[in-house]
Amino acid sequence: MSPSPEILTPERILEATEDVLRRYGPTKATVVDVARALGVSHGSVYRHFRTKAALREAVTARWLGRTEELLGELSEEPAKTAEEKLRQWLAVLFEAKRHKAGDDPELFATYGVLIQEASGVVDEHLLVLIGQLAAIIGEGVRSGQFAARDPLAAARAVFDATARFHDPVYAPQWERPEIDDEFRAVCELLLRGLRA
């Protein structure tokens, strides 16, 4: 990224940070590298992100936020039943994670390191995802399709039971040919368990 006369926004800093992380890796990347990529002083970067840790957390939250947005859009489609939404939500989550892991493995590994530093950011991300699931399950309960007494607890259980298909520790398994059948079998069993 070359110097530019544009206004220095948090978003531009985060974009440059991701580029720098991709290029230098999570251990070597510094705030000075980010400032250099933007053609500004490192003081200008620190005006938006007070510490290196804060900058790393923000870029991790932005990365995780992309998946949240993608999934959030799904649950807003009014034409679908709760069961269709739930099935699609789980499939899109798996696909999104698999693409992140497979298309850009270095960036995925980099965020794997950042995630371990930013447990608060990850907890927040998990709450958002489980909240989206709970909203879909709650909708299914109201329409009489699902029987869960506590949609949030049911959402947590569905999320836990599908860990193999979204937790990055399983990324090496996501290229196995059987994985799609295994994913479908777990989803169908869970949907059967949710139905009224």
Nearer to a copy of itself, 17 or 87 (CB): 87
In three-state secondary structure terms, 176 is coil
**For a copy of itself, which is the closer residue by CB, 75 or 162?**
162
Size, binding site for a copy of itself by CB under 8 A:
21
Under rule CB under 8 A, residue 53 binds a copy of itself = no
Establish if 186 lies at the interface with a copy of itself (CB under 8 A): yes
Question: Interhelix angle for 82-103 vs 179-194, to 10°?
Answer: 150
115 belongs to the binding site for a copy of itself (CB under 8 A): no
Residue given tokens 């007070």 in the structure block: 50
Backbone φ and ψ for 70, nearest 5 degrees, come out as -55, -45
Stretch that binds a copy of itself, among 67-75, 91-99, 112-120, 187-195 (CB under 8 A): 187-195
Q: Which is nearer to a copy of itself, 34 or 157 (CB)?
A: 157
Strand partners, 146: 195
Binders of a copy of itself among residues 134 to 173 (CB under 8 A) are 153-154, 156-158, 160-164, 169
Complex with a copy of itself: residue 104 or 188, whichever CB lies closer: 188
Q: What angle do CA 108, 61, 44 make, to 5 degrees?
A: 105
Contacting residues for 100 by C-beta, under 8 A, at least 6 apart: 67, 107, 108, 111
Q: Are 34 and 15 in contact (CB under 8 A)?
A: no
Residues that bind a copy of itself in the complex, under the rule CB under 8 A: 153-154, 156-158, 160-164, 169, 182, 185-186, 188-194
